[in-house]
Amino acid sequence: MQESVLQQHLYKLVLADIINPVNDQLASYYKDGAMLLKRSKSKSSSGFYVDRVGKRLDLIKLVKDSECEILDFRGKLVVPTFVDTHFHWVQDDVCLMPKDNLLQWLKKYTWPSESKFKNKEYTKLKSKLFAKKLLSVGTTAGAVYCSIHQHTVLASAKEFVGDFIFGNVLMTMNSPDYLLQTESDAIASVRELSSKLKKRYALTPRFAPTTSPSVMKMSGKMAKRNGSFIQTHLSETINEIEYVLSIYSSFAKFKKVLTYTEIYDRCGLVTDRTIFGHGIHLSDKELKLLSKKGASIAHCPTSNGPIDEFGLGSGLFDFEKCNANKVAWALASDIGGGPFLSMIDVMNSFVYQNKRAKVKSATYVMALNRATNAGAKILKIKRTGNFKRLNWANFVVIDDIFSGRGSDSGEKRLEAAFKTNSGIKARKKTENVILKTFYKGNCLFGRDNG
Ligand SMILES: [Zn+2]
């Protein structure tokens, strides 16, 4: 009875401390604030959008009780839901496995684990669990790496709620037998999935060492024709770069290629719909090429972090150099390279690692912008990323379990809500601080009611 009455409401009024990320330097903070949501009249896109954000005492005067549902989260923090621009959902089971280095970790744990997804029933079960996990950490958009198996794309595309793009990794060389594809199978999978999912598909060569250049070239053309994205890994570790160049130097058409980025470029994969994971060890020349083509970088601080902090020890991403070269970048969990799916852990690591390296411009305000707005822009998701008027009401309610409520600045308030110490147990708690996740104004996850 009550449910049907509530569904008639034209408005919802969210009462909370609200932070609205604007850019790297600014996040508007409404202490004791309110956000008015309005029901969309469009039949094709139902849900609630943001009408306005302001002070509670101002906004509460605007609505009549009969047409507005009050969502009272006073004292809690509300921020936009997160955009995770690079993660492997099929690596959920290897997040905390020992990580000596990237190539060893792939061979020893990751690839055997991904091979289990050959089984469709297993995939179905895992995709349902992972969809719940995404909502429980407040992630409602992102770029998803699946295994080589086409059904892992279809299962996750069916189950994950929000605005995601999906791609099956292509592995046609230098891969274990149990994950090796023929070139024609790899190309056929792109043809089928790209024409089916269009803009929700991402052509996903695992990385240049495992995907033959002819496959990258041919599938790249298909992806472009269908308006699909392209995602792959680039310059994550020094070892990897040496490995890539040693492989490609034996290919006649790549003999003169000097950089990792150039390899992808020769295959036609550096585009304004391309998202490269990591990009830590890039030269200025490579960054200029990325900038010229409008390609983006998914920066994964927890995955790149030191081995004793459960990362792969790949190094510190130089975001200032990236900015100087005008290359778009956003944050990502890179789960299972990163230990936790929570973008709060990712934001913490970004700030922590940069502060430790004396890069003072890395703040929580910047981290939040790069975990919301920046990712939405890269993935070209409309009406998402912050609480601008008419954007969809995608937001999370967060409990301050770490250091209590902060002061009047957005930076301090975010620090109070997010910051934890660097120990693994404390970091694990970031997976449990989201109280509720709302997508288009509807609550899809609540910790109190499961
Ligand atoms: Zn990755």
- CATH number of 310's domain: 3.20.20.140
215 and 271, same domain (yes or no) = yes
| CA dist., res. 409 & res. 158, Å (int) | 40
| Average of per-residue pLDDT across 329-335 | 97
- Sequence-distant (≥ 6) Cβ neighbours of residue 1 within 8 angstroms: none
| Average of per-residue pLDDT across 320-330 | 98
Q: Is 206 exposed, middle or buried (0-12, 13-18, 19+ CB in 10 A)?
A: buried
Work out the pLDDT band at 270, boundaries 50, 70, 90: very high
Please check the confidence at residue 9 and state whether its pLDDT lies above 80: yes
235 and 102, same domain (yes or no) = yes
42 and 91, same domain (yes or no) = no
In the reported structure, the alpha carbon of residue 408 is separated from the centroid of ligand 1 by a whole-number distance in angstroms of 37
In the reported structure, the alpha carbon of residue 228 is separated from the centroid of ligand 1 by a whole-number distance in angstroms of 19
List, as one string, the DSSP characters of 370-382: HTTHHHHHHTT-T
pLDDT in tens, 240-263: 999 999 999 999 999 889 999 999
Instruction: Determine, yes or no, domain membership for 379.
Output: no
| Average of per-residue pLDDT across 336-350 | 95
In the reported structure, the alpha carbon of residue 411 is separated from the centroid of ligand 1 by a whole-number distance in angstroms of 29
126 and 229, same domain (yes or no) = yes
Instruction: Determine, yes or no, domain membership for 380.
Output: no
| Average of per-residue pLDDT across 150-169 | 98
CB atoms within 10 A of CB 169: 26
Peptide bond preceding 336: is omega within 30 degrees of 0, i.e. cis? Answer: yes
Work out the pLDDT band at 403, boundaries 50, 70, 90: low
Instruction: Determine, yes or no, domain membership for 370.
Output: no
In the reported structure, the alpha carbon of residue 312 is separated from the centroid of ligand 1 by a whole-number distance in angstroms of 11
**Would you state the structure tokens that stand for residue 44, as one six-digit string?**
């094709």
In contact, 338 and 88? CB cutoff 8 Å: no
In the reported structure, the alpha carbon of residue 300 is separated from the centroid of ligand 1 by a whole-number distance in angstroms of 8
413 and 298, same domain (yes or no) = no
In contact, 333 and 86? CB cutoff 8 Å: yes
pLDDT in tens, 41-78: 887 778 999 999 999 999 999 888 778 999 999 989 99
| CA dist., res. 291 & res. 282, Å (int) | 12
Instruction: Determine, yes or no, domain membership for 72.
Output: yes
In the reported structure, the alpha carbon of residue 209 is separated from the centroid of ligand 1 by a whole-number distance in angstroms of 14
221 and 357, same domain (yes or no) = yes
**Dihedral sign from CA coordinates of 384, 323, 27, 403:** positive
In the reported structure, the alpha carbon of residue 409 is separated from the centroid of ligand 1 by a whole-number distance in angstroms of 34
Please check the confidence at residue 286 and state whether its pLDDT lies above 70: yes
List, as one string, the DSSP characters of 286-309: HHHHHHHHT-EEEE-HHHHS-GGG
295 and 442, same domain (yes or no) = no
Q: Can you give the pLDDT at residue 66?
A: 78
Q: How far is CA 292 from CA 224, 271, 289, 295, 390, in A?
A: 18, 9, 5, 8, 32
In the reported structure, the alpha carbon of residue 278 is separated from the centroid of ligand 1 by a whole-number distance in angstroms of 8
pLDDT in tens, 304-323: 999 888 888 899 999 999 99
In the reported structure, the alpha carbon of residue 48 is separated from the centroid of ligand 1 by a whole-number distance in angstroms of 33
In the reported structure, the alpha carbon of residue 170 is separated from the centroid of ligand 1 by a whole-number distance in angstroms of 13
Q: Can you give the pLDDT at residue 2?
A: 45
In the reported structure, the alpha carbon of residue 334 is separated from the centroid of ligand 1 by a whole-number distance in angstroms of 5
Q: Which of 105-109, 179-183, 247-251 has the lowest mean pLDDT?
A: 105-109
322 and 390, same domain (yes or no) = no
Please check the confidence at residue 16 and state whether its pLDDT lies above 50: yes
Work out the pLDDT band at 348, boundaries 50, 70, 90: very high
Domain count for the chain, please give it. 2
**Would you state the structure tokens that stand for residue 299, as one six-digit string?**
């920066």
Q: Can you give the pLDDT at residue 99?
A: 79
Instruction: Determine, yes or no, domain membership for 18.
Output: yes
| Average of per-residue pLDDT across 353-372 | 97
70 and 103, same domain (yes or no) = no
* Stated pTM of the model: 0.95
389 and 274, same domain (yes or no) = no
**CATH code, 391:** 2.30.40.10
Instruction: Determine, yes or no, domain membership for 366.
Output: no
Mean pLDDT, the chain, as a whole number? Answer: 93
97 and 199, same domain (yes or no) = yes
Report which of residues 66 and 79 the model is more confident about: 79
Q: Can you give the pLDDT at residue 254?
A: 94
In contact, 200 and 164? CB cutoff 8 Å: yes
Q: Give exposure, 181-192, as e/b (b: 16+ Cβ within 10 Å).
A: bebeebbebbbe
What domain range includes position 394? 2-80+385-446
Instruction: Determine, yes or no, domain membership for 371.
Output: no
Instruction: Determine, yes or no, domain membership for 368.
Output: no
| Average of per-residue pLDDT across 291-303 | 97
Q: Rounded to 10 degrees, what is the CA torsion of 259, 265, 266, 268?
A: 160
| Average of per-residue pLDDT across 430-446 | 96
In the reported structure, the alpha carbon of residue 145 is separated from the centroid of ligand 1 by a whole-number distance in angstroms of 8
Three-point CA angle 307, 328, 77, nearest 5°: 70
In the reported structure, the alpha carbon of residue 106 is separated from the centroid of ligand 1 by a whole-number distance in angstroms of 10
Work out the pLDDT band at 450, boundaries 50, 70, 90: very low
318 and 439, same domain (yes or no) = no
Please check the confidence at residue 4 and state whether its pLDDT lies above 80: no
| CA dist., res. 449 & res. 59, Å (int) | 28
In the reported structure, the alpha carbon of residue 84 is separated from the centroid of ligand 1 by a whole-number distance in angstroms of 12
In the reported structure, the alpha carbon of residue 229 is separated from the centroid of ligand 1 by a whole-number distance in angstroms of 16
| CA dist., res. 199 & res. 229, Å (int) | 7
Q: What are phi and psi of 376, to 5 degrees?
A: -60, -40
| Average of per-residue pLDDT across 426-435 | 93
In the reported structure, the alpha carbon of residue 34 is separated from the centroid of ligand 1 by a whole-number distance in angstroms of 38
Q: Can you give the pLDDT at residue 401?
A: 55
In contact, 327 and 377? CB cutoff 8 Å: no
Please check the confidence at residue 404 and state whether its pLDDT lies above 90: no
Q: How far is CA 176 from CA 112, 115, 180, in A?
A: 9, 10, 6
